[in-house]
Amino acid sequence: MKLHRRAFLKGSAVSVLGLGLSGSGPLFLRRAAWAAPGTARRRPVLVAVFQRGAMDGLMAVPPLERELRGPLSRLRPSLALSAARAAGEEQVIDLGVGFGLHPALAGLQPLWRDGHLAVVHAVGSPDPTRSHFDAQDYMETATPGVKSTRTGWLDRVVGELGHEAPGAPDGGASQAPSPLRAVAMTDVLPRSLQGPSGGVAISELGEFRLHGDVAASRRTGRGPRPRGRTTSRDETSEATRSAFEALYSDPAAGDLARTGVETFEAMEALDAHASAVYRPAAGVRYPESPLGGALRQVAQLIKADVGLEVAFTESGGWDTHVQQGTIAGSFARRARDLGDSIAAFWRDLGALRSDVVLLTMTEFGRTVAENGSAGTDHGRASCMFALGEKVRGGRVHGAWPGLEHEQLDEGRDLAVATDFRSVFGELAVGHLGVGESELAGIFPGFGGSRLPLLRG
Calpha distance 193→155 (Å, rounded):
5
Calpha distance 282→284 (Å, rounded):
6
What amino acid is encoded at 162 in this protein?
G
**pLDDT tens digits, residue range 234-280?**
554 555 455 545 545 555 555 544 555 556 666 666 665 555 678 99
pLDDT of residue 33: 41
Helix (H) or strand (E) holding 396: strand 396-397
Could you say which DSSP state residue 47 is in?
A: E
pLDDT of residue 84: 78
382 strand-pairing partners: 123
pLDDT of residue 107: 98
Helix (H) or strand (E) holding 140: helix 132-141
Q: Domain spanning 46-207+275-442 has what CATH number? A: 3.40.720
Spatial CA neighbour of 21 closest among 305, 261, 198, 253: 261
Calpha distance 444→434 (Å, rounded):
15
Calpha distance 39→166 (Å, rounded):
7
Domain residue extents for the chain: 1-31+210-264, 46-207+275-442
174 strand-pairing partners: 164
pLDDT of residue 206: 77
Spatial CA neighbour of 204 closest among 306, 304, 309, 293: 293
**pLDDT tens digits, residue range 444-456?**
999 999 999 999 8
Q: Provide Rg for the chain, Cα atoms.
A: 23
Calpha distance 327→78 (Å, rounded):
11
Walk along the chain (456 residues) and give the pLDDT tens digit of each residue: 333 334 434 443 333 333 333 333 333 333 334 445 554 567 999 999 999 999 999 999 999 986 556 899 999 999 999 887 777 888 999 999 999 999 999 999 999 999 999 999 999 999 999 999 999 999 999 999 999 999 999 999 999 997 654 444 444 445 567 889 999 999 999 999 999 998 999 998 877 654 433 333 333 333 434 344 444 545 545 554 555 455 455 555 555 445 555 566 666 666 655 556 789 999 999 999 999 999 999 999 999 998 999 999 999 999 999 999 999 999 999 999 999 999 999 999 999 999 999 999 999 999 999 999 999 999 999 999 999 999 999 999 999 999 999 999 999 999 999 999 999 999 999 999 999 999 999 999 999 999 999 998
Calpha distance 76→118 (Å, rounded):
26
Q: Is 406:360 a contact under the CB 8 Å cutoff?
A: no
